[in-house]
Structure 1
Amino acid sequence: MPIPAPNLYPTFNTIRLSHVCLNVADLAASRKFYTEILGLQVTDESDSHIYLRAMEERGHHCVILQKSDIPGTVEVMGFKTYDEADLDKAQTYFADKGRPTEWVERPYQGRTLLTSDNMGIPLEFYHKMDRLEPIHQKYALYRGVKPLRIDHFNCFSTSVDESVAFYSDFGFRVTEYTEDEESGKLWAAWMHRKGGVHDMAFTNGTGPRMHHVAFWVPTPLNIIDLLDLMATSGYVDNIERGPGRHGISNAFFLYVLDPDGHRIEIYCSDYQTVDPDLEAIKWDLKDPQRQTLWGAPAPRSWFEHGTPFAGTDVKDSELAASPIIAP
């Protein structure tokens, strides 16, 4: 099935992904992992929440850790709009699509619209977030993998074709995709707003669930440093896959699991996709260099493990096609 043409003039203008709220069991354990191992900076904390940002970010937070009785789930994924008027346009857009809409109060954010996509993934859109002083040149603060910014989300979808059509309609553009030649259906797709390879990606599987949230780092050496740190500080078993280089996106990568099983990708070296007429790159599902240009194939857990969204039911995908999986 061909990918849809991009909608270059969507109803409302989404700039980029912004933040994610993760439900966790033990705030202290999660705080240690995200600050001492990954290197995110605490911007506020309480008995129930910890707010974090990466080193280049001026917005108040890119990750919210929320103490919960349903740990290992995702509360919401956040996106920033171009201006305040886009929020009202988004409310009308999602309501017209039959999706629930609600104006919610969020600390450190202005007016915020809570809704969901066609699969039930909870999404929130805002325009204003508290700005903080720049810290990217405060090198004494750099630790862990030295994350510069949040980069993308990847989610399991029961129908990648339907997910791509939904997000394309409000302005996301496909950069790369994997097609199952036998069925003609999409097995995975990478979609962007900010001019990188992706802000949101979809992978075929039981869903909707979050596959991973990714952070961008300066160089592959940061990833090697993180591996050394995790291997010698009690986190070696949290290393799931990598390091390696993806065929798709050309990114150097590492996947790790946080204390609650949320998958985190550390990511660098992808490419620019600013031109609106840039042609999407097609991959065959059976191409061994699709998922890994070089390095070991992905383990089975990488295709099966994901974290559900709080309050959202999951179901199995009807597409049974499978990529290459490590023995």
Structure 2
Amino acid sequence: MGIVRVGFIELWVRDLEASLAFYQGLLGFRLERQEEGRAYLRGYEELEWSLKLTQAPRAAVRSLGFKVEKEEDLEALKAWASSEGLPFRLEADWGRVEILRVQDPFGYPLAFYHRAQKLERVLQRYHEYRGPGVLRLDHFNLFSPEVGKATQYYRERLGFRLTEYTEDEEGRLWASWLHRKGNVHDLAFTNGEGPRLHHFAYWLPDPMAILKAADILAGAVQTDRIERGPGRHGISNALFLYLKDPDGHRIELYTSDYLTVDPDHPPLRWSLNDPRRQTLWGHKTPKSWFLEGSLLLSLEDTPLSTRPSPLQGLPEHVI
């Protein structure tokens, strides 16, 4: 369907100013537009906004956006949604004249777009960088009670490629990492109560930026925002720091994974019993990581109901 990469996320937040103090004030996102309870932000490498914050009565995720290569790809996606009986609608937003919103068969609120207003290039305006230097949106991680089915569907119907996966000794899939843009993932499915968002991730320039982010939170006496890390994943090999925003949405600061552009790149299997898959350095993952996630919204902007996973295990075996 011509999906190029992850494109944007729209979060509902209960206090827009508090959210801007976190994303713009602490993490240094560039605020490009603010109006009528909405704010549009981006990283320093991006030429389009990638984070939309909307003042709302509840915290939730409205859209998980993906960019497509051509206008014709939007038509193909409309045909896909229609043929499968999926709810869909067309919308417009600031800088994006046509966005196709689709609720996929598993409940995830997807959004696809092609044309977007290009913002001024600021990548080399290093004197304007704030925070740890957030560069670009990298991926979404989604809680799913049916990881195997979702993974197969996204590979066969939407053209995602599998890079890594976690499997138990019975051959059941517990988590998967899928990409379009050529690094480890644009999208991951994680076993758990869902559909929900586990986290969204932004790419940082280098490992020192991860440490700088931790120092910024410490300096601001907001270390309670740090949920996990800094550390290095076994899966993806990336360095990470996980934070919770004022509404409990989880954002990962992420860097140093690897290229997967070869079409015959072999997926890497991890055993569910291998503790190195979560954290290569060995420190424990907090229980909140396995249990907490963001609610998703339907196309009518109502909260989606969730389902428990039929796969049962100890909390440390969930991811």
TM-score, length of structure 1 as denominator length: 0.93
Of 159, 167, 177, which aligns to 1:179? 167
Q: Deviation per CA, 1:222-273, whole angstroms, max 9, x where unpaired? A: 1111111101213110100001100000000110000000000010000000
Aligned residue type for 2:17: A
Task: Tell me if the contact between 1:211 and 1:263 (Cα under 8 Å) persists in the aligned partners.
Answer: yes
Of 270, 283, 286, which aligns to 1:299? 286
Q: CA deviation at 1:105?
A: 2.1
Q: CA deviation at 1:323?
A: 5.8
- Are 1:19 and 2:3 an aligned pair? no
Aligned partner of 1:203 in structure 2 is 190
Aligned partner of 1:69 in structure 2 is 57
> CA separation in 1, counterparts of 2:229 and 2:149?
30
Q: Percent identity?
A: 46
SS of 2:97's partner is coil
- Are 1:121 and 2:113 an aligned pair? no
> CA separation in 1, counterparts of 2:315 and 2:232?
17
Task: Tell me if the contact between 2:163 and 2:268 (Cα under 8 Å) persists in the aligned partners.
Answer: yes
Task: Tell me if the contact between 1:180 and 1:321 (Cα under 8 Å) persists in the aligned partners.
Answer: no
Q: CA deviation at 1:321?
A: 2.9
> CA separation in 1, counterparts of 2:101 and 2:50?
17
Aligned partner of 2:95 in structure 1 is 108
- Are 1:97 and 2:84 an aligned pair? yes
Task: Tell me if the contact between 1:173 and 1:193 (Cα under 8 Å) persists in the aligned partners.
Answer: yes
Q: Cα RMSD (Å) of the superposition?
A: 1.3
Residues 1-327 of structure 1: matches in 2 within 5 Å? Answer: 12-59=1-48, 61-71=49-59, 73-169=60-156, 170-182=158-170, 184-310=171-297, 311-322=303-314, 324=316
Q: Deviation per CA, 1:162-217, whole angstroms, max 9, x where unpaired? A: 110121121000100001213x2110000000001000001000001100000001
Q: Deviation per CA, 1:66-105, whole angstroms, max 9, x where unpaired? A: 000112x101110000001110110001221221121112
> CA separation in 2, counterparts of 1:273 and 1:323?
30
Q: Which runs of 4+ in 1 moved over 2 A?
A: 321-325
Q: CA deviation at 1:47?
A: 3.1
Aligned partner of 1:8 in structure 2 is none
SS of 2:316's partner is coil
Task: Tell me if the contact between 2:28 and 2:133 (Cα under 8 Å) persists in the aligned partners.
Answer: yes
> CA separation in 1, counterparts of 2:160 and 2:108?
16
Q: Deviation per CA, 1:1-48, whole angstroms, max 9, x where unpaired? A: xxxxxxxxxxx1100010000010111110010012111101100131
What is the count of residue pairs matched by the alignment? 312
TM-score, length of structure 2 as denominator length: 0.95
> CA separation in 2, counterparts of 1:256 and 1:295?
19
